[in-house]
Structure 1
Amino acid sequence: MTSHISEMDRLTFRETDEAGNPTATYVYSGDVASSITSKTSGRVDVISSSSSTSSWSAKPLVSSLGDVFLPSGYPQSVSDDYLPYQIFQYQRYTSNKELTQPINRKQDSLQAFCSSIAGLLSSRAVLQGVGVGNANASPTSALLLHILQDISGRIATICFAHRIGTALEPECKTYRLAADVFNDIAMILDCLSPGVPAGPARVAVLSTAGVLRALCGVAGGSSKASLSAHFAKWGNLAELNAKDSSQETVISLFGMLVGSVVISHITSFSTTWLILLILLAMHLSMNYAAVRAVQMTSLNRQRANIAFSTLFDSDRSLALDLVELDSTPGLSNTKTEWTILTPAQVAEHERIFHRDGALQWTHDSTHTTQHLGSAQIGVSMSTFLSSLSVSGTSFPRALPLRRLAAVFADEFYILFLVPWTTAGNVKFHASILLKRGCTVEHQLKAWAHALLAARVLVRITTGFSVDVALDVVERTLGLLNADARFERYLTELSGVGWDVDIAALETRAGRRIEL
């Protein structure tokens, strides 16, 4: 006798993974009283979410490999630019101990292939340079050479970290690619070392290679940390790095196997250099593509220039009661909609290597870039006061600090611009003092204000003076404050994916003042 089970007697449990992908469905039917035992019982039916019933289906295998090498919850657990970066990217840290230890690499993708083989070629050259295979070579001299390389690398690490430590996170894309450039130049020097006469010259070449690897370690390791934090969306930074290590291990093993075959067949000088240069060219090109694919959501100096200038250019109300902004032919002056660029759109215009502290204006319609000058944010008071000594200034009198303090009494920064001439063109240098208690929002406002003021000042062809500069600074500040315009700018930017709470404008240790 079959008991009838209604829908009210069923419980359905749908199971998903961390990303929300269905894995299985469990249907509980009951509770049903048995006519034989007079006991209540039920049953659970399992419905698999796999579309294939074949035991040899490739889908479970692919899924299992994904679980091993990709973060849990992929792709929802990482940012959209994670996979393009991993496909191209390669990060390598080489120790300075090639003479006594195996090369230590950390690699991130398929193009580790190129660098693995190139690294083997350079390592072979170093071993030849220190006398491996030469009966007259002294182990003591090789050890001393290793010690000199190690010392120079450690000193370079300390100096480089001190000099650019603050800039590593805001400019992580720049230093990520710079790390690979340092490393590839070091490999070229390694391959040159056997042809350099033994003595101080060879020591200098190998020590320089050690210094470059040290710079690679600082720049690559620090920028890698920033990029990993950018990719991790679920607070899964530790797991993401662990899965990266798994990817690196597989790729490096494969690269080593192929590299072992390659170096055993490449012995001539010309062939070695040809293969090396081809591999390094492929290595750098793929790293460039990887860094270009990253879409950072923090507003550093370059990204702030692109985002704010495009926004200003589209906001025609800024031209009211102000020196008219540069109008673009064919663009209506009655346009009311703002152009808010997303991180992906800004990444398309972003340069990997760019001028530090440049003020550049990106036009809304043509997407051409105009260089307006430069800016320093978070400067010391002495730097701010000495800003009038900029070459080419035509200001006849000292900076009116009392009026500046009054203009910026309600702001958390003080801004002033001075002109300077380069190649016959007048540009402007902006100095920004930050007050104690300033937040990221205030820093972004200060930079946007400097950009807008410089854009207006370059339109003025005659009559530069302190009063003209102060007037422009005051009027542009009034426009940013009118109807909480700048606050609305930040709200719109945040709405398209920008993280306006990350401080990424200061690339040097900053100063704060208190009035």
Structure 2
Amino acid sequence: MAPKDGNAITFTEVDELNNPALTFIYSELQSGTTLKDEMGNGIRGRVDIAHLSGASTPWSVKSVQNLLIDIFLPAGYPHSVSEDYIPYQIFDSLQAFSSSIAGLLSSRAVLQGVGVGNADASPTSALLLHILQDTSGRIATIFFAHRVGTALEPECKMYRFAADIFNDLAMVLDCLSPMIPAGVSRVTVLSAAGVLRALCGVAGGSSKASLSAHFSKWGNLAEVNAKDSSQETVISLVGMLVGSLVVSHITSFTATWLTLLALLTLHLSLNYAAVRSVQMTTLNRQRANIVFSSMLSSDPDFAYLAANQWQSIHQQHLQTELGMREQNQRRLQIPSPADVSRQERIFDASGMLQWHGLPPGKEGPMAPETLGHCQIGVSLRDFMSSSSSSSSSSSPSVSTTSNSLKTALPLKALASLFNDENYILIFTTRSPSLGPRARISCKILLKQHATPKTHLKAWMHALLVARLLTRSPPSGEDKKKTGCGTTEMILSTLSRTLDFLNVSSRFEGYIDALGDKGWEVDVEGGVSALETRIGRRVVVS
């Protein structure tokens, strides 16, 4: 029957990316026309289905490709995940493939070690050995999670790589077990392998959860984890099939070890490439050093601060507050997450203050300069203490008598200086003969209402002060006159640098510029990536 003219309604069905899939055209029948379906219900109109011209035919190459994407990649790919998702997954899948084959070789060695094929072997002894391995691994899991639990998220790239190192060491111990005499020695080796696998489980599982949170952009964390499990299942299955051919043809001692070492080398290389491809957008200690030092080096006013001429231009900045802030943001050179991922190291000394500034007249970053060591979120007792290797003229000392403390730390001056901040800094300088790593020591005391943004400001402040204190200090009579290295000099530097960060809301301008560059800094209620241990907070009244 012919439909009425002008009464057609078009419905277009779209997928999660708003790409049209099918078009349904509804048209009402002419008045007076009566049609009924099988149930006796009246039919009011007709629906025509229009297939798109670009739609794939069943079992075409494109349809198979789309089916695989739907099965193994998150819905909405590539828009639902970050740009570094696919490079990481490619390397991660390849390393899982090599690890599966190596795991079969180590499993065969374990079976040989417990006596498979030996008529004198006892099933009970093998069971007891398994129980001992499992017990030692569970105990190791508890202690390891307690020790590094808070550091797993800030340092997820390091612990993701460390997890596979633990796993590979466990495989090596498994392959060594048949060569170890039966008894306490072999039990110790196999138990150590169980402990390493437990550490791998804690470090790998937790760090992969943090990486999945980084990859997910649509709040699809659960689906990203689920699809990652699907990918690993397929890769492990293929690895087991290939590994079954490998273990059946490689039986000699030399061939087994050469194959195992080659697979483990490939495994670690691919895993290293995987974590290197990740472009984290949160600022942990190492990334904060890279970003802050590059940003401060590019700030034209930093030269005045380093030359101790900041006070002479202070009033000029107060008169042109908004103009200076906007102008400086345009001139700042801030490395992007991709730039920082190429500079950062997987294993880096935790808590070091390093300067990665740009050399004058050259392009690209210079080699990092280690300025000293910094602790954030310390307790008040630790804040007032000083290292025994510090010189008496440069470090406040603390002594304890019953329930009281005596300290040379200028607490009143520090409390006054940082009255409007949610943190307090203190520096100690030591003899240059102890090396650059020992010259500067900083401790950051966090107040009760400190936020992740407070942590960033405290770390930037510490890096800035350390840079100034290590820049060619005067010597001899000049040192006595200026008090370089003394508490007075440190307080003066703290005051000058704090004024530098606060005038004209300079630090807020830095934070805005970091956000525009793609860094996650506006996380007032989030978790700080600078604290790797549970820290203390204080209330100053």
Name the TM-score, length of structure 1 as normaliser: 0.88
**1:484 paired residue number:** 505
**1:402 paired residue number:** 412
1:76 matched to 2:79? The reply is yes
Secondary structure at 1:210's aligned position in 2? Answer: helix
Deviation digits for residues 441-495 of structure 1, max 9, x if unmatched?
A: 1111001100111111110423321111111111111010011010111111112
Q: Which moved more, 1:453-462 or 1:439-448?
A: 453-462
CA gap 1:37/1:514 in 2 versus in 1, 3 angstroms: closer
Deviation digits for residues 118-156 of structure 1, max 9, x if unmatched?
A: 001001101111111111222232222222212211111
Letter in 2 for 1:169: E
Written as runs of structure 1 = structure 2, the 5 A alignment for 1:460-471 is: 460-462=472-474, 463-471=484-492
**1:385 paired residue number:** 384
Give the CA deviation at 1:234: 1.4
Letter in 2 for 1:488: G
Letter in 2 for 1:14: T
**1:450 paired residue number:** 462
Deviation digits for residues 228-279 of structure 1, max 9, x if unmatched?
A: 1111211211222222222122111111111111101110000000000010
**1:57 paired residue number:** 60
| Selected match of 1:359 from 332, 353, 356 | 353
Secondary structure at 1:67's aligned position in 2? Answer: helix
Is the CA contact (8 Å cut-off) linking 1:149 and 1:206 kept in structure 2?
A: yes
Give the CA deviation at 1:182: 0.3
**Distance in 1 of aligned mates of 2:113 and 2:532:** 40
**1:14 paired residue number:** 12
Is the CA contact (8 Å cut-off) linking 2:95 and 2:268 kept in structure 1?
A: no
Secondary structure at 1:320's aligned position in 2? Answer: helix
**1:160 paired residue number:** 144
Is the CA contact (8 Å cut-off) linking 1:415 and 1:431 kept in structure 2?
A: yes
Q: Which moved more, 1:208-217 or 1:379-388?
A: 379-388
Secondary structure at 1:220's aligned position in 2? Answer: helix
**1:221 paired residue number:** 205
5+ residue gaps, structure 2, are 36-41, 310-327, 397-407, 475-483
Give the CA deviation at 1:344: 1.6
1:47 matched to 2:50? The reply is yes
Letter in 2 for 1:483: S
Q: Which moved more, 1:307-316 or 1:339-348?
A: 339-348
Give the CA deviation at 1:415: 0.4
**1:105 paired residue number:** none
**Distance in 2 of aligned mates of 1:360 and 1:243:** 38
**1:346 paired residue number:** 340
Give the CA deviation at 1:42: 5.2
1:114 matched to 2:98? The reply is yes
Give the CA deviation at 1:342: 1.9
**Distance in 1 of aligned mates of 2:2 and 2:120:** 94
Aligned length: 485
Give the CA deviation at 1:392: 5.2
Give the CA deviation at 1:24: 2.4
Give the CA deviation at 1:4: 9.2
Is the CA contact (8 Å cut-off) linking 1:358 and 1:373 kept in structure 2?
A: yes
**2:429 paired residue number:** 419
Give the CA deviation at 1:61: 1.3
Q: What RMSD, in angstroms, separates the aligned Cα atoms of the two structures?
A: 2.4
CA gap 1:260/1:50 in 2 versus in 1, 3 angstroms: farther
**1:473 paired residue number:** 494
**Distance in 2 of aligned mates of 1:483 and 1:124:** 68
Aligned residues: percent identity? 59
1:141 matched to 2:125? The reply is yes
Q: Which moved more, 1:408-417 or 1:57-66?
A: 57-66
**1:511 paired residue number:** 536
| Selected match of 1:293 from 259, 277, 283 | 277
**Distance in 2 of aligned mates of 1:422 and 1:218:** 41
Give the CA deviation at 1:205: 1.1
Secondary structure at 2:448's aligned position in 1? Answer: coil
Is the CA contact (8 Å cut-off) linking 1:34 and 1:40 kept in structure 2?
A: no
**Distance in 1 of aligned mates of 2:538 and 2:329:** 40
Give the CA deviation at 1:424: 4.0
Secondary structure at 2:182's aligned position in 1? Answer: coil
1:438 matched to 2:473? The reply is no
Letter in 2 for 1:188: V
**1:247 paired residue number:** 231
CA gap 1:386/1:267 in 2 versus in 1, 3 angstroms: same
Secondary structure at 1:289's aligned position in 2? Answer: helix
Is the CA contact (8 Å cut-off) linking 1:412 and 1:438 kept in structure 2?
A: yes
**Distance in 1 of aligned mates of 2:329 and 2:81:** 37
**Distance in 2 of aligned mates of 1:188 and 1:155:** 22
CA gap 1:487/1:390 in 2 versus in 1, 3 angstroms: farther
Letter in 2 for 1:194: P
